Structure 1
Amino acid sequence: MYPWLQQAWQDLLRERDRLPHALLITGEPGIGKRVFAEYLAQFLLCEDTQKSTVPCGVCDGCRWYLAGNHPDFRVLQPEDAEDERPDEADSKKAKKKSEIIRVEDVRGLADFVNLSAHRRSLRVTLVVPADTMNVAAANAFLKTLEEPPAGAVFILVADHWRRLLPTIRSRCRVFPLALPEPHIAMQWLNAHGVVNPTLHLAHTGGAPLAAMDDAAAEWLPVRQNFLEHIAEPATLDVLKLSAELDKAKLDTDLVIAWLQKWIYDLISLGLAQKIRYYPDWKDALGRLAPRAPFLMQYVNQLTEAQKLSRHPLNQRLVFESLLFAYVDALRGKGRQGKV
């Protein structure tokens, strides 16, 4: 358990006798929501009747769980999908991670949820990320939540929990995890040898696990190049930059997030004289900040683009549309880009 999650864990334990059959754990990406959920799952499956605040780690239930083969635990998550990549030399099918939880995955839970438990009375299902269920999967999962079998416990984890069906949210108890205090996050990053933790923590909005990933990311030069280009909108070559981003083969939502953070800082600096994500770009942001009022409508376009980022859209066209709209917005022109 990460140090910044200890208080939340204690808060949850105070209600251990009143835990609902479905718990929705929410919070910013990169703060350890899945670790928290997995720790809760182990705690529920721990067979030590004397446990108080932590799973014992040595009973049969804990040993099975830690070995990854507990018969009363399942994880519902996007599955590996086969992807044909003809440009590879061996022309073999490579595995890539699917980005959605499909209805077939949800239906596969039926036997596990409805049969009797093997060890004790509980059957625990971890759904992560719950907000990646497509519409059919969400509707199928809702049926299970509406009439849960006795002993079935569901732990849902979501970065964007409002994307879940309202009917699913209403059947879960929402348990938010907060960002850690900056000094706690800094201590943890320093202890793990992260160079310049203050900057990486800023880039990720204060999430320490995301900051660690940020510091080690292979795409750092790509982001640097991207920011250099959008910092000079007057000379921005949208087609060239979009082609470079497309060639880098990054996730669409990652690039959109870079742009969202840039726009957030522009507006925040223009209206409140504050920078959250890119303090290392203060001068460039300062030059563009007077145009912040023109960007309000553009924020909505980025939000809609982020919602569609997992769909099989033409990535290059998405980048072109958003970057052209960015330039237009800074000029005070409205472009209703379609992505």
Structure 2
Amino acid sequence: MIYPWLEPVWQQIARHWQQQPHAWLLYGHPGIGKREFAEYLAQALLCESPGTNHQPCGECTSCHLYSQHSHPDFLLVTPEETDGEGGERKQPLIKVETIRNVLDFAHLSAHRGGKRVALIYPAENMNLQAANALLKILEEPPQGMVFILVSHQKDRLLPTIKSRCRQVVLTIPAPAQALAYAQQQHGDNAAELLAFHGGAPLFNENDSHTQLRNELIALLVKPRLIALLDYAATFDKHKLALATFLDWLAKWLLDLSLAQQNMQPIYYPVWSKALNEISRQADTLLLFALIDKVNKLAPYGKHTLNVKMQLEDLLIEYLNIWQQKNIKS
């Protein structure tokens, strides 16, 4: 399926259907329907009776096989599942062994006599060895083979891989359209949740995550050392990834920096009044230093760092933003 806000992108692809590349790179914000779009494209490439706008018919043998997840000329490549012990703290990777299977698949003859399609999602989760293995076949692709790479963070892909793909940005929906969709799924909390997710309406909100995030924001509004350290321990007990906390904190710090410039918050609009009050008490230089630190930690959000220790360090630095301002004044 294609979500309504991505229909214009499909129309553009359909207009140039005869000039298809051997490799696509579909990228954009998380939560806008990139995987669904990629799967629709894959089905259209395999369809034996496409519509006038090159959309898959949904009725031919190929479409039936695709809908049953048994099409012999389609291969979906996703990261290996993490074990239960590692939880979300373990970085899911697409490893070189998996990409070698893709290479074997690429050199097979098509069972249905048409194209063969491999969809890699998310492409940035390939480790370096896997990315280099894929690069070799992108340089000399077999006849009739199409690769569809989907990425939330295309800057994490090798430049040489990106240069061998036709890059297509999938856009976030207009605010009104996103809100209308989110309201259908999340009711009264839709506007607040949509803002937190950057306007991308396809989000799954975990109740335990929401509670932990709300507890964090309450502490950031009125930070107290012991309470902050207790929170770090509580977060750690939930076995959540450092990346989750970094996302929550980075969005708060950005909104705080906007408040210092008399601008409206992006991610926490319901806390606008509190952010304005806090912005007058926060040391600007220390705030930007903490933002920089959070950004530098972001690439390690799924690594096996001591999460509790990292949270304690970041939260103490946040508290210091307040204390230093008060000392100077």
TM over 0.5: yes
1:293 aligns with 2:293: no
1:283 partner amino acid: K
Which residue of the partner structure matches residue 62 of structure 2? 61
CA contact (8 A) 1:230 1:236 kept: no
Matching residue within 93, 110, 113 for 2:103 = 110
CA deviations over 1:217-259 (Å, ceiling 9, x no partner): 3321111111111222354644222111111222321221111
2:257 to 264, 267, 274: 267
Deviations 1:201-232 (A, max 9, x none): 1111100012xx23x53321111111111222
Higher fraction of helix: 2
Letter in 1 for 2:302: R
Task: Please report how far the alpha carbon of residue 180 of structure 1 lies from its aligned counterpart in structure 2 after TM superposition.
Answer: 0.5
Residues in 2 aligned to 1:281 and 1:84: alpha-carbon distance in whole angstroms: 36
SS in 1 for 2:188: coil
1:314 to 2:306 alignment:
yes
Matched, 1:191 2:184: yes
Q: Paired residue for 2:39? A: 38
Cα shift at 1:315: 1.9
Change over 3 Å in CA distance of 1:296–1:251 after alignment to 2: same
The one-character-per-residue Cα deviations of 1:36-81 (angstroms, maximum 9, x if unpaired) are 1111111111111554342100001100000001011111111224
Q: In the alignment, is the contact (CA less than 8 A) between 1:21 and 1:152 conserved in 2?
A: yes
Q: Report the number of matched residues.
A: 322
SS of the aligned residue for 1:205 comes to: coil
Question: 2:136 aligned with 1:143, yes or no?
Answer: yes
Question: Is the CA contact (8 Å cut-off) linking 1:266 and 1:292 kept in structure 2?
Answer: no
How many percent of aligned residue pairs carry the same amino acid? 40
Contact 1:82–1:95 at 8 Å: present in 2 too?
A: no
CA RMSD of aligned residues (A): 2.3
Q: Tell me what 2:270 maps to.
A: 280
Amino acid at match of 1:281: W
In the alignment, is residue 252 of structure 1 matched against residue 242 of structure 2?
Answer: yes
Distance in structure 2 (CA, Å) of the matches to 1:186 and 1:228: 25
Q: Does 1:178 align with 2:179?
A: no
1:60-111: CA deviation from partner (whole Å, max 9, x where unpaired): 11000000010111111112244558xxxxxxxx999861111111112121
> Are 1:3 and 2:4 counterparts?
yes
The correspondence for 1:160, drawn from 153, 164, 172, is 153
How far apart in 2 are the matches of 1:62 and 1:8? 22
| Mapping of residues 234-253 of structure 1, within 5 Å | 234-235=224-225, 237-253=227-243
Q: What amino acid does structure 2 have at the position aligned with 1:224?
A: N
Residue 228 to residue 36, structure 1, CA distance change in 2 (3 Å): same
Partner Cα separation in structure 1 for residue 118 and residue 306 of structure 2: 35
> TM-score scaled by structure 2?
0.90
Partner of 1:15: 16
Q: Contact 2:31 / 2:200 at 8 angstroms: preserved in 1?
A: yes
